[in-house]
Amino acid sequence: MVRRVAAVALLGAMAIPAVARAGGTCTVYEHRDFGGAHWTLHDGDVLRMIRPPQLGTSDGIHRFIYESSWNDKVSSFTVGPTCTLTLWEHVNYGGHHFRANRSRSYVGDRWNDKASDAVCECKGPLKW
């Protein structure tokens, strides 16, 4: 587990320019200013920060990714130009939520290390 986080952290610094160009992704970061480990979500992805259930990883609309080591660790995020990221306080879209369609170098004291679900939703293809 430690090796995976270290490898992701190393790649995190290189991911910011790629995310800005990609458009259809949202990336959550462990630390403020896009630092530490990161996880990139594509349109329709839901990062559930709990252990995976026995069955089911999709509801037909969203793809569910289960990663319990991320629970209460999000401090910053990048959002592609056509995307919206929603952070939920509890799993299964529970509690309060924080929605943004632009990147944030810090989620603020109220949301720092509080998210248990992250949902990335993007609109149609980019038009350059």
95 pLDDT band, cuts 50/70/90, is: very high
52 pLDDT band, cuts 50/70/90, is: confident
pLDDT computed for residue 60 by the predictor: 64
Query: What is the domain partition of the chain in residue ranges?
Result: 2-122
Average pLDDT over residues 24-34: 97
Sign of dihedral through CA atoms 60, 93, 118, 57?
A: negative
Using CA atoms, how far residue 16 sits from 26, 52, 69, 78, in Å, is 11, 28, 22, 8
Q: Check pLDDT > 60 for residue 16.
A: no
- pTM to 2 decimals? 0.75
Q: Which residue has the higher pLDDT, 22 or 111?
A: 111
Reduced 3-state DSSP string for 104-117: ECCCCCCCCCCCCE
Q: Strand pairing partners for 79? A: 26
From CA 2, how far away is CA 18, in angstroms rounded? 25
Residue 8 buriedness (CB in 10 A; 0-12 / 13-18 / 19+): middle
The yes/no answer on whether domain 2-122 falls in CATH 2.60.20.10 is yes
Mean pLDDT of the chain: 81
DSSP string computed for 35-87? EEEEEEEETTEEEE-SPPPSS-SB-SS-EEEE-GGGTT---EEEE-TTEEEEE
Average pLDDT over residues 12-27: 52
pLDDT computed for residue 61 by the predictor: 67
